[in-house]
Structure 1
Amino acid sequence: MSHAAPTDREDTTGPPPARPAPEQAEWDDWRWHMRKRVNTVEKAREWINLTEGEERAIAGVAGRYRWSITPYYASLMDPDDPLCPVRQQAVPAADELLEFPGAEVDPVGDTLYRRTNRVVHKYPDRVILLVTEACPVYCRHCTRKFHTTDLQGSYFRDDEGGAYDEDLRYISEHPEIRDVLLTGGDPLSYQDGRLEEIVAGLRAIPSVEIIRIGSRFPVLLPQRITEELCTMLSRYHPVWLNTHFNHPKEITPESAAAVDRLLRHGIPVGNQTVLLRGINDDVATMRRLMTELLRIRVRPYYLYHCDNVTGVAHFMTSVEKGWEIMEGLQGHITGFGVPQYVLTTKIGKIPVSRPSFTETPDGGLLLRNFRGQELHVDATTHPITETDAR
């Protein structure tokens, strides 16, 4: 699908915004950031010089899509450039209100596989547990935009604050479930005590081997990753955390410190980047992102093709663009720094990287490396079928 590149290049150059200057103790307190989130035009003007287009978009999404930005994440935005990669992920855009062919509120099928108020059981041995609708920043490219930011919508059948008895019972009655991913919204929006109740409930189920947390707090508000949180989570190992760094600009001393705290408490950190038009859809940016992630000891996990979600489709690239980026990564950076390129669908996550080989008429393989060099190997060297194997 082809969409026009962003064109909001209105001149916003002017006096720099008088950005808030809190005390260091306030800046280090994640609760302060949550209380002071940017969610009005007036608050946004404290951080950036809004364009007329951005102001119209903010008015246009009112009553449909929530938006808020933590002061920390706002501090990463270029005050004068509406195409700043951080700003595009956080500030509403007019394209969110456009209609795109094939766009759906739930293209990945969460609602099709929902078994309780919170449990989504798509894969044989694992489920997701929808913890909350709340996020510190409502990312404009969110796959669950209907669930987390549509003011009239939710995937919850009942209120999110209700008891977890039904959800935990479902998991315990299905012993094939060995892996539970807490997601939402962002589970770390909850206070430590409430979060621990959920994690402890899962850990009490003998068949649950792995607990994962999907959270963008390390990116959007790394101050949330406190020593107390990490100590609490470490009581319930094995616990893993997956996050979403989408641009090198998001890798800061604060986010690196948050990752370090998680790792020092035995919590591995993986990254699931979303391929986003105008933000990271070029080889140089993606290569830098992956190498910077390795530097702070975050393992690149997935490169998600942007889902065709209502209100999000303007961020989509072509699959061919994804192939171009993957080929620009493979061989140019260390192997474990190359994520798996996937398309998320109603039938699951489908790897869509272009193969680096073709079968030849003689039953062999024609191999192609990252430089484009080719090598033919015959069936006696590398048998394709098991009957031919030594």
Structure 2
Amino acid sequence: MSQMSPDTDGITPALTRRDDIPDSQWNDWHWHMRKRVTNLGKAREWIRPTPDEEEAIEKTAGKYRWSVTPYYASLMDPDDPDCPVRRQAVPALGELMDYSGAEVDPVGDMFYRRTNRVVHKYPDRVIMLITEACPVYCRHCTRKFHTTDVDGTYFEKSEGEDFGEDLRYIADHPEIRDVLLTGGDPLSYRDGKLEEIVSGLRAIPSVEIIRIGSRFPVLLPQRITPELCEMLSRYHPVWLNTHFNHPKEITPEAERAVDRLLRHGIPVGNQTVLLRGVNDDVATMRTLMTELLRIRVRPYYLYHCDNVTGVSHFMTSVEKGWEIMDGLQGHITGFGVPQYVLTTRLGKIPMSRPSYRQTPEGLVLRNYQGREMLLDDSVYPLTETRVPAPGQREGGR
């Protein structure tokens, strides 16, 4: 058993291991929710905090919520503060620093909110912020003000308010065909409460697709029970997008959770955030994307980390994002390459660097190895005025 450094009494307390916990408890998601790490004392059961981490835990108390499931805590390297799981889960002093341009809501959720929970930003789809709660309060959350800030919320009314107003808004706007349940994490609710919401949406004729944004497959895969999947399968088409950020998070438990969703007809996509010190190198991203494909999760987005208050220390440069995308394209299966986007009040803006440039002679194309070729304008016209009619040679009558 791993040992901690001796404390002031000369006692060397043991760290908790997965094997120390009976399967009956470890496989019960309710047990993990009850036993979450929420203070320094509990953290010392899983890791040896550094002085900086101890200071951050102390100084963020009362400002930002902190919670880590035992499952996710078990993935942290107890001795390495740069462990990618640990960096996502344990408070850091960077959360308290001021960064130029940082905002609590840079993507405009509150600007586009139409009811207590409905955010209508795009023509045919909305999100419903149905909760503030999460099993783990990820330190990089783009909605940190809503989920993690003790004094913050996007809600105008209580989270416990009736959902009638939100469902009526969606029903009154038949152009809405796609609803994403998010929060916080919707799967924080028990199955019965979640089914009330999902069934209410399915009763609206214009709603074609219901999506759930949840990090439970990563943070507490035991939540993905047969009962949950069976319930969701009654309301198809239902999709789930999750949030693997590092290969270390792809465990046998996570793989089984994904498999259970898929076997119930629920496609699973992934939205990775580019995070400094976690996954900001080509090798890590290649491994992550190929491992996702192995467990049949489709890479969907690579988000550039938003300049969110309390999160900005995770940001990289856009150039770093381009470097990583260049290192993915052509090196792994095409459908394993996510779309690199920057989320703004204008929406999600594709940020991938173009692999071509326009010249007077035509298009100069560049492949993943940096090799270039010219496509002559007479062969592949750049404008419709240059496209010959069927059966007509260019320049003919």
Alignment of 1:245-264 (within 5 A): 245-264=244-263
Unaligned runs of 5+ in 2: 7-11, 389-397
Q: Note the C-alpha offset of 1:308.
A: 0.2
Please name the residue that 1:4 is paired with: none
1:130 & 1:207 partners in 2: Cα distance?
Answer: 20
1:42 & 1:69 partners in 2: Cα distance?
Answer: 13
2:288 & 2:21 partners in 1: Cα distance?
Answer: 30
What TM-score comes out, normalization by structure 2 length? 0.94
CA contact (8 A) 2:285 2:324 kept: yes
Alignment of 1:289-328 (within 5 A): 289-328=288-327
**RMSD (Å) for aligned C-alpha atoms:** 1.0
Please name the residue that 1:182 is paired with: 181
Unaligned runs of 5+ in 1: 1-11
Paired amino acid for 2:115: T
Offset from partner CA, 1:81-113 (integer Å, 9 cap, x none): 000000000000011000000000000000000
Q: Note the C-alpha offset of 1:13.
A: 6.6
Specify whether residues 67 and 228 from structure 1 end up closer, same or farther in structure 2 by C-alpha distance, changes over 3 A only: same
2:109 & 2:384 partners in 1: Cα distance?
Answer: 38
Of the three residues 352, 356, 377, the one matched with 1:379 is 377
Q: Note the C-alpha offset of 1:22.
A: 2.0
What TM-score comes out, normalization by structure 1 length? 0.96
Q: Note the C-alpha offset of 1:52.
A: 1.1
CA contact (8 A) 1:17 1:79 kept: no
Residue aligned with 1:289, SS:
helix
1:18 & 1:170 partners in 2: Cα distance?
Answer: 51
Count the aligned residue pairs. Answer: 378
Offset from partner CA, 1:147-183 (integer Å, 9 cap, x none): 0011111000000111111000000000000000000
Please name the residue that 1:277 is paired with: 276
Max radius of gyration: which structure? 2
Offset from partner CA, 1:229-258 (integer Å, 9 cap, x none): 000000000000000000000000000000
Q: Note the C-alpha offset of 1:361.
A: 1.4
Deviates more, 1:378-387 or 1:164-173: 378-387
Q: Note the C-alpha offset of 1:383.
A: 1.3
2:378 & 2:360 partners in 1: Cα distance?
Answer: 14
CA contact (8 A) 2:341 2:350 kept: yes
1:273 & 1:381 partners in 2: Cα distance?
Answer: 39
Work out whether 1:19 is the aligned partner of 2:16.
yes
CA contact (8 A) 2:341 2:351 kept: yes
1:191 & 1:324 partners in 2: Cα distance?
Answer: 42
Work out whether 1:171 is the aligned partner of 2:179.
no
Residue aligned with 1:304, SS:
strand
Please name the residue that 2:194 is paired with: 195
CA contact (8 A) 1:16 1:49 kept: no
Paired amino acid for 2:245: N
Please name the residue that 1:366 is paired with: 364
Please name the residue that 1:5 is paired with: none
Offset from partner CA, 1:249-271 (integer Å, 9 cap, x none): 00000000000000000000000
Paired amino acid for 2:255: A
Please name the residue that 2:393 is paired with: none
1:148 & 1:358 partners in 2: Cα distance?
Answer: 43
Q: Note the C-alpha offset of 1:387.
A: 2.1
Q: Note the C-alpha offset of 1:16.
A: 7.8
Paired amino acid for 1:321: K
Please name the residue that 2:394 is paired with: none
Please name the residue that 1:265 is paired with: 264
Please name the residue that 1:105 is paired with: 104
Residue aligned with 1:342, SS:
strand
Please name the residue that 2:113 is paired with: 114
2:387 & 2:285 partners in 1: Cα distance?
Answer: 39
Please name the residue that 2:9 is paired with: none
Residue aligned with 1:112, SS:
coil
Offset from partner CA, 1:18-55 (integer Å, 9 cap, x none): 20622101100000000000001111000000111111
Alignment of 1:129-278 (within 5 A): 129-278=128-277
Q: Note the C-alpha offset of 1:189.
A: 0.1
2:136 & 2:68 partners in 1: Cα distance?
Answer: 5
